[in-house]
A and B are shown apart, each in its own frame.
Chain A
Amino acid sequence: MSDKEIEKIGHDRFKIDLHPQVRQLLVDMKDVALNHVEENSPATRRIFPVAYRNSPEMEMDFSQLTREPLMRHHRETLSIFENTLSKSEITEDEALAWLNALNDMRLILGTALDIDEDRAVPDENDPNYEGYVVYDLLTYLQGVLIEEIQS
C-alpha cells in the first residue's frame, strides 16, 4: 500500500490520493494563477518569456506569432487540471497537463514571492508565510509527479 499522493499504477493510469483540503487549495491556486494570466500581471513574465533579448523588432514579431497560442496553452492546461482534480485516477495526458499546470502555478507564485535559490525556511512571522507554504506544496507535488511519470 503506497502513501503517495500521485502514483503511476499502470500504462496510462495514475492514482490520485489528495487530502480534500489540498484539493481545495489547488483549486484556489489554479483560480489565482488563471487570474494572473487573464490580467497579464507582472507575475506571469516567466510563463511568457522574452525570446529575442537583443532585438525588440524580432521579439515583437515572435510575440505576435506566439502570444495567443501560448495563452491558449496555459488556459487549456489549467482547465484540464481543474476538471480532473476531483478524479481518483487520471490518464497520462492528464498527468502531463497536471505537470504543466503545477509548473505554471509555481512560476506565477514564485515570481510574485520573488523566490530565489538561496531561500531560507519560511518564517511563520513573514507576511508571505502562507504563500511560501503553498509554493512548497506545489513543489513537492510536482516532484512526486515527475518521478511517477518517469517511472
Chain B
Amino acid sequence: MTGSSQTTPVIEKIDLPSDIMEDDRLWKVIVWNDPINLMTYVTWVLQRLFGYSREKAHALMMEVHTQGKAVVASGEREKVELDAYRLHEYGLWATIEQD
C-alpha cells in the first residue's frame, strides 16, 4: 500500500439557482372571511381539525371576521397543504403562503 499524494478539492462556494436553494421560510395557512360560512361553523371546524380549544378557535374566527383573515396553522409545505385541503373539504376559504 502506498500513500496518496492526491488532495481533496475544497469547494468554497456554489452558486445554485435561487429556485433550487433550500428555502426554510415557514409556510402558513390563511383562512379568509367570507359572507356565507357561519361563525359557529368556522369555530367548530378549527376546533375539530386542529384540536384548538373553543377559546382559541373562537379568537381565530373573530380575527377572520374582523380583520378579514387569520393564520390558522403553519409548518412545512406538505403539512400546510394537507391542512388547506382539509379546510377546503369543510368549505372554508383557505390559502397557502410563505413568510
Binding site for B on A (CB under 8 A): 46-54, 58, 62, 65-66, 69-70, 73, 99-100, 103-104, 106-107, 110-111, 115-117, 119, 139, 142-143, 146-147, 149-150
Q: Give the top 5 A-B pairs by smallest Cβ distance, nearest first.
A: A110-B36, A117-B35, A103-B91, A116-B35, A51-B84
Interface residues of B in 40-99 (CB under 8 A from A): 40-41, 44, 81, 84-85, 88-91, 93-97
Interface contact B96-A52, CB-CB below 8 Å: yes
CB distance from A15 to the nearest CB of B (A): 20
Q: List the A side residues contacting B97 at CB < 8 Å.
A: 53-54
Q: List the A side residues contacting B95 at CB < 8 Å.
A: 49-53
Interface contact B81-A146, CB-CB below 8 Å: no
Q: List the B side residues contacting A46 at CB < 8 Å.
A: 34, 36, 91, 93
Beyond A52-B96, A54-B97, A147-B40, is A110–B35 a contact (Cβ under 8 Å)? yes
Beyond A51-B81, A52-B96, A62-B81, is A104–B91 a contact (Cβ under 8 Å)? yes
Which single residue of chain A is at the shortest CB-CB distance from B80?
A51
Interface of chain B: mostly helix, strand, loop or mixed = mixed
CB distance from A2 to the nearest CB of B (A): 20
Beyond A66-B88, A70-B88, is A142–B96 a contact (Cβ under 8 Å)? no
Interface contact A115-B89, CB-CB below 8 Å: no
Interface residue count on the B side (C-beta < 8 Å): 20
Interface contact A47-B44, CB-CB below 8 Å: no
- A to B CB contacts below 8 Å, 29 in the list: A46-B91, A47-B88, A48-B88, A49-B88, A49-B94, A50-B95, A51-B84, A51-B96, A53-B95, A62-B81, A70-B85, A99-B41, A100-B89, A100-B90, A103-B37, A103-B41, A103-B90, A104-B91, A107-B91, A110-B35, A111-B36, A115-B36, A117-B35, A142-B38, A142-B41, A143-B38, A143-B40, A146-B40, A147-B40
CB distance from A48 to the nearest CB of B (A): 7
Q: List the B side residues contacting A104 at CB < 8 Å.
A: 91
CA distance A147 to B40 in the complex (A): 8
CB distance from A102 to the nearest CB of B (A): 9
